[in-house]
Amino acid sequence: MRKTLLMLTTLGILTACQSRPAVDPALQTLTDHHLTFMRAQADQLAAELQQLQQAGTDYCRASSSATPEKSPAELQQHWRSSFAAWSAHQGQSGGPLDAAGLSFAFQFWPDKKDTTGKQLQRQLTTAEQGQPVRQQGVTGTLGAMEYLLQSDLTPQQRCLLLPGIGAELAANGQQLSAAWHDADGYQQQLLQMQQQGGSTALLTQILGQLSHRYERIEKKLMLPLNTVEHPRPLFAEAWRSGQSLHFLRTSLISLEQEYRNGGIRTYLQQDPDYAAVIAALDHAFADTLKHLPAGDSLGYWLEGDRYAALLRFKLSFDQLGYQLKQRLPEELGLNLGFNATDGD
């Protein structure tokens, strides 16, 4: 009886081993590069948000002392760096950002009705009356901190809400970083895709992420661009601070970095047949960044004759979209379909 059980156990182990699909080295390398790059991006965001929280604490401590009023310039710079780090995650879909329920934890945008400003005004009134408030949802985002830093408020008024916002952002940054590093989470999801769907499933997932990110950048441009007769500068994502063009630039740069260092380009380079599409994508990224207007403010370029520079940029940006969302998937025999690129 014991011998029979031992034989059955051995047979079960052998069967399980034989039924497990062989790992494709190229797909495993793609997965490893993708995870390594995205985890580094998440760690960077978490680090920036912790520094932002500390800068807020230092600002409020100095503002409550007998020393002369402290300038918010250093805090504003930390906010700018944190938002730039967040721009590398905007538009992600189907990964840890969604799974951890953090899609709107860092930014509420588009904010067409200025929900952020209205809710913060109410919270300031409540806090000034000595009643407790909690920064969560819209009032715990980078946009909420931008409102406090750019509005005509005293340091004491800002510091009624700043510590709570800083703590909320730092906690969410740590949660996102942990979600990316969770071996039983997205990493396991990618492994299952690779084993069950092979290259089609894995490439569709990773290219879908790039597509989503491109579409988020497109929205950041098109909502304020609107028409030459009726541009909408207040629809830009950081209009209060005049940094919307800067963050459009950081989004584009991070998108190119994800394409270059996140596994896709390396995967393509293993096959000489993809040389032409690699060259086309490299050129499209370079041309897009070349024609992006200078400066930080998108509103500046929406005025008068300067609007034409944004239209010229859009031509290059559209070509990048064609290469990334249409030509590349076609070269790989993929159809990203509605679910892969249905926007934010």
pLDDT digits (tens, 9 = 90+) for 194-207: 999 999 999 999 99
Helix axes 142-150, 155-181, angle to 10 degrees: 160
Residue type, 324: L
Query: Which residue, 77, 58, 109, is CA-closest to 241?
Result: 77
Fold of 25-340: A middle domain of Talin 1 (1.20.1420)
d(CA 241, CA 301): 15
Q: What is the pLDDT of residue 6?
A: 45
Q: What is the pLDDT of residue 182?
A: 96
Q: What is the pLDDT of residue 66?
A: 59
d(CA 111, CA 98): 20
Q: What is the pLDDT of residue 344?
A: 38
Phi, psi values for residue 134, rounded to 5° = -130, 130
pTM summary value: 0.91
Q: How many CB atoms neighbour CB 30 within 10 A?
A: 24
Residue type, 84: A
The mean pLDDT of 16-27, rounded to a whole number, is: 66
pLDDT reading at 340 higher than 50: no
Q: Would you place residue 16 in the very low, low, confident or very high pLDDT band (cuts 50, 70, 90)?
A: very low
Q: What is the pLDDT of residue 2?
A: 45
In this structure, which long-range contacts are made by residues 125-132, counting pairs with CB atoms below 8 Å and at least 24 apart in sequence? 127/160, 127/161, 128/157, 128/160
pLDDT reading at 342 higher than 80: no
Asked if 220 and 247 touch (Cβ cutoff 8 Å), the reply is: yes
Q: Where are the domains of the chain?
A: 25-340
pLDDT reading at 5 higher than 60: no
pLDDT reading at 304 higher than 60: yes
pLDDT reading at 1 higher than 80: no
Q: Would you place residue 70 in the very low, low, confident or very high pLDDT band (cuts 50, 70, 90)?
A: confident
> pLDDT, tens digit, for every residue of 148-190?
999 999 999 999 999 999 999 999 999 999 999 999 999 999 9
Q: Would you place residue 71 in the very low, low, confident or very high pLDDT band (cuts 50, 70, 90)?
A: confident
The mean pLDDT of 280-307, rounded to a whole number, is: 98
Which letter does DSSP use for residue 132 in this model? -
Token readout for 65 is: 């002392």
Q: Would you place residue 67 in the very low, low, confident or very high pLDDT band (cuts 50, 70, 90)?
A: low
pLDDT reading at 11 higher than 90: no
Residue type, 118: K
Query: Which residue, 78, 100, 73, is CA-closest to 89?
Result: 100
The mean pLDDT of 273-300, rounded to a whole number, is: 98
Q: Is the peptide bond before 155 cis (omega within 30 degrees of 0)?
A: no
Q: What is the pLDDT of residue 192?
A: 94
> pLDDT, tens digit, for every residue of 85-108?
999 999 998 899 999 999 999 999
Q: What is the pLDDT of residue 196?
A: 92
DSSP structure string for 184-249: TTHHHHHHHHHHHHHHHHHHHHHHHHHHHHHHHHHHHHHHHH--SSS--GGGSTTTTTT-HHHHHH
